[in-house]
Structure 1
Amino acid sequence: MTSATHRSAAEIGRTATGPRPLPPLGSQSSATELSHVDTTLSNGLRVVAVRKATVPLVEVRVWIPFAGEDKLHPATAEVLAETLLTGTARRDRVEIDAELALIGGDLGTGVDPERLYVTGSALSSGLPTLLDVLGDVFTGAAYTDAEVGRERERLIERIAVSRTQPRTIAREALQKQRYGDHPATREVPEASDVEVVTPERVRALHAASVLPRGSVLVIVGDIDPQTVPGDLERALGGWASDRSAPRLPALPELTGGNVLLVPRAGAVQSQIRLSAQTVPRTDPRYAAVQLANLAYGGYFSSRLVENIREDKGYTYGAHSGFEFTDQNATVNVDADTANEVTAAALLETRYELGRLGLVPPTGEEVESVRQYAIGSLLTSTSSQSGLAGQVMALASTGLGVEWLQEHPARVAAVTEEEVAQAALDFFAPKRFTGVVVGDADLLAPKLTALGDVTVGEQD
């Protein structure tokens, strides 16, 4: 028997003449043409149906604008989302679950300050049943006393846990720093508000806000898109209103500013959250800004990750990415760090923002992020569920499947100079505001010494 000498990865990667060269990147696949229909039903519901017959399944997504100014709206909306599928005048919870099970289907709900959403899937042969259940739920959800009471208590427990989580605390602090008292900031209701939500209040909110006009329904799967609108007219014909679903007021534009240190006594870690205004997907500069973001912190080989994770070990993960709310778009940066390196991590995060504009991405960097952007888009739409999610994200802001098909070509056409200009225009440190959540007694001296950091009041 012969014995083999173990070689490390570093040794394998080297030859007698130096590091072993990486193989060249393969050619990028092009976007696939998608057979689809994009239309509006008589009740005002926009429908996007896309054929993707990879497996005999369908994915359904419903997006309903669901804004509200009332103080109890966030709490009532959460209870509504939790009880929407718990029974109608025709079916109780068990009957809904049984009918979905027979078609290999499921439905789920969620809500945030912008929208109420329903997600579902089923065997393609079971689509008529799935749509019938949806129509029944939208027109006849019962919100019985027992179901509302049960889900209300579960929600109170989840809120109590959620409000102890550092990421929830950081998100709430960032929202208030960015948008003040705007309704968009009310993402987690107060437990005390949930306690007083009644079935009558939930039913009233459903009648006032669960409306088809201005909403979007996406179906992706093994379907004939041409027949879907007619199927939906029959299944959802009773879901109608002359009013439109209520949309969020426009968000104020971010103009940069100080970072707020939000005290969290005794915390052993800190959360860094920065945010700046950027451009929506409809802007001609979006593709260039997308590549600039990837180079900065949008994927694992980005400058920010290389600096504060790989080189200095300040964090297990750092990331920058886009957040879209209606026609508004921001770029957000986040990293969680130990207290002793929080100030240094914020310094390096700002440094990399400045360096992106002053020392723009090289040709090699641009090609790397270009390949990543196109490849990740094609990968994310390769499954029915992934495609449904992408189409819904676009449709909810007024775009369609065409944007998805055309975007790889836009990314491919971006020049190195356009990425450099986007980096300078949109990633300058002065454009960002944000928060650091952590123990102020430990963090304040070093953070305030950096400048442009103010200390918030202790709760």
Structure 2
Amino acid sequence: MTASFRTADEIGRTSVGPRPLPPLGVQRAATGLSTVDSKLSNGLQVIVVRQPAVPMVELRARIPFAGTDPMHAARAEVLASTLLSGTSRRDRIAVDTDLALVGGELDASVDPERLSIAGSALATGLDTLLDVLADALTGATYADDEVRREQERLAERIAMARSQPSVIARQALQKHRYGDHPAVREMPEAEDVARVTPEEVRALHQASMLPRGSVLVLVGDIDLDQAVAQLESALGGWTGAGQAVELPSLPAVSGGDLVFVPRAGAVQSQLRLTAEAIKRTDAQYPALQLANLAFGGFFSSRLVENIREDKGYTYHARSFLEFTPDGATLLVDTDCASDVTANTLLEIRYELARIVLSPPSETEVDTVRQYAIGQLLTATASQSGLASQLAALATQGLGVDWLVAHPVRLQEVTSAEIAEAALAFFAPERWTGVIVGDPAQLPRLNVLGGVVEQQ
């Protein structure tokens, strides 16, 4: 018997025409979450959420970790890489073994704002997870050989990363936006990392690894009161004088010329545009979020349809909001072939003006509204997603209540409010940014105006 196969087009059709699509289901917010938000005796804020979907726990800790010393970024990077390499009670192997026995893991990273620790374990292994974390926070030894090993690895990785076009563009954008502000030092110099001493790392831990001003989020199959007691028992001994150091306020981003950063021999150009935005707590934020989605925030947005689908200038384009503790910015991010750099910039400027002069239609609004709500609900459906969302919100003083209520805010935004947000935030004169590329391949870029050479 010969098998018969139908194409996708045949499956989607009936004898009387295309098969109708089923209606979209109703998207439901994550309501009724059991949660506790309190402070331990050492001043650490803890947010504990019961979500018993699977017998696991997810942990996220955020410690403000800013510094103004030019060597701070290098020391902080080495510290984050060696925080879990050994303590007075456990060497690196013992740390890994104890976590593995409870299906757990812990990882540390750092940026100019804060040191972040992420981890997970079986719910039955929460005590072990917290004990390993507390051991690192209070007793990390930063052994000389571990520090030297990580320095070599980091220096090699940083040297490779700094040659990447995306990293060059990001560094140029940060320098253009914020000058000499500590936020610009997102990645240390390889030679600075090589100069860090174990003594400096230990001193940085002692001075800056502080519970007061920090936050820890715990989500999982847990009893709330018992989990808070476990946190107090494990972490109550983590103490220190003073408050964890927050990043100084960033200067506002002003619109103006784009800065051209030459990169000889580049076959692609990196375009990074930016404008000042608003915090999540601003009443206009939901409208801005939806306006941004319509402009360039997802695959079916105007910008993507124009420069990717219609013109074929790029494979990837997006616009998004980037948050800091006391503010936010909008960014447009795309790479294109050198010979269409001017064309791509022209179309980006066109779309910025178009969303101001021709705001999203009712159909566009319905699409981005459903996308925004669905994306949020999907992102918070898992324990890991919910923990990460809450940790990010906690740095802006927000918690579970804001997260639960946000789908309702998105649902209530009107087309007129989105049009107002587009006018307020997407007007072309509000934007600035950088272009990285090969000047020899961009002879027409200066025809557009508004682009100046890097000084």
Kindly provide the CA deviation profile for residues 338-396 of structure 1, in whole angstroms up to 9, marking residues without a partner as x: 00111101110111011001000000100000000000100001111011110101011
Q: What is the SS of the residue equivalent to 1:242?
A: coil
Per-residue displacement from partner, 1:167-217 (whole Å, max 9, x unpaired)? Answer: 111110110111111100101101111111000000010011010000000
The residue number in structure 1 matching 2:375 is 376
TM-score (norm 2): 0.97
Structure 2 counterparts to residues 332-411 of structure 1, below 5 A: 332-411=331-410
Q: CA, structure 1 residues 3+62, in 2 after alignment: closer, same or farther (shift >3 Å)?
A: closer
1:291 corresponds to: 290
3-state SS in 1 of match to 2:252:
coil
- Report sequence identity in percent: 63
For structure 1, the 5+ residue unaligned runs are none
Which whole-Å deviations, capped at 9, do the CAs of 1:247-278 have from their partners, x for residues lacking one? 10000011211111110000000111011111
Distance 1:13 1:415 in 2: 34
Bigger mean CA deviation after superposition, 200-209 or 445-454:
445-454
- The residue identity in structure 1 corresponding to 2:266 is A
Give 1:122 deviation, angstroms.
Answer: 0.3
Aligned to 2:88: 89
Query: How far apart are residue 228 of structure 1 and its match?
Result: 2.2
The alpha carbon displacement at 1:13 in A equals: 7.0
Q: Partner letter of residue 209 of structure 2? A: V
Q: Which residue of 2 aligns with 1:110?
A: 109
Residue in 2 aligned with 1:224?
A: 223
**Paired letter, 1:130:** L
Give the equivalent residue in structure 1 for 2:262.
263
Deviation at 1:28, TM superposition (A): 2.2
- CA distance in 2 between counterparts of 1:8 and 1:387 reads 36
Q: Secondary structure at the match of 1:270?
A: strand
Q: State the shift of 1:7 in Å.
A: 6.0
1:255-314 superposed Cα distances (whole Å, 9 cap, x missing partner): 211111110000000111011111110001110000000000001100000000000100
What residue is the counterpart of 1:171 in the other structure? Answer: 170
Counterpart for residue 441 of structure 1: 440
In 2, Cα distance between equivalents of 1:53 and 1:3: 46
Report the residue type matching 1:453 in the other structure.
V
Distance, in Å, in 2 between the alignment partners of 1:217 and 1:7 is 51
Matched to 2:114, the amino acid is: R
Answer yes or no: is the 8 Å Cα contact 1:135–1:235 preserved in 2: yes
Quote the Cα distance in structure 2 between the aligned partners of 1:128 and 1:15. Answer: 59
Amino acid at match of 1:302: S
Give me the whole-angstrom Cα distance separating, in 1, the residues matched to 2:207 and 2:8: 65
Whether contact under 8 Å (1:213, 1:245) holds in the other structure is yes
How far does residue 15 in structure 1 lie from its aligned partner after superposition? 8.9
User: Relative to structure 1, is the Cα distance of residues 271 and 191 closer, same or farther in structure 2, using a 3 angstrom cutoff?
Assistant: same
How do 1:39-188 residues align onto structure 2 when only pairs under 5 Å count? 39-188=38-187
Q: Structure 2, unaligned stretches of length 5 or more?
A: none
Following the alignment from structure 1 to structure 2, what is the Cα–Cα distance between the partners of residues 252 and 431?
15
CA contact (8 A) 1:31 1:408 kept: no
Contact 1:122 1:130 in 2 (8 A): yes
Partner of 1:453: 451
User: Displacement, 1:71?
Assistant: 1.1
Q: Secondary structure at the match of 2:315?
A: coil
Superimposed CA distance per residue, residues 217-259 of structure 1 (whole angstroms, 9 cap, x where no aligned partner):
0000001122222211111122112300111000001121111
CA RMSD of aligned residues (A): 1.8
Aligned residue runs from structure 1 range 263-342, under 5 A? 263-342=262-341
Please tell me whether the aligned partners of residues 258 and 452 of structure 2 are also in contact (alpha carbons under 8 angstroms). yes
User: Which amino acid counterpart does residue 75 of structure 2 have in structure 1?
Assistant: T
Deviation at 1:101?
0.8
Partner of 1:234: 233
Could you tell me how far apart the structure 2 residues matched to 1:352 and 1:12 are?
37
Q: Secondary structure at the match of 1:217?
A: strand
- In the other structure, the counterpart of 2:32 is 33
CA distance in 1: counterparts of 2:444 and 2:184, whole angstroms? 29
Shift of 1:3: 9.0
SS at match of 1:44: coil
* 1:116 alignment partner, SS class: strand
Q: After superposition, give the CA deviation of every residue in 1:138-192 in whole Å (9 maximum; x if it has no partner).
A: 1110001100000000000101110111111111011011111110010110111
Compute the displacement of 1:449 (Å).
Answer: 1.1
> What aligned pairs does 1:15-34 form with structure 2 within 5 A after superposition?
23-34=22-33
CA distance in 2, matches of 1:322, 1:109: 24
Does the CA contact (< 8 Å) of 1:214 and 1:244 recur in 2? yes
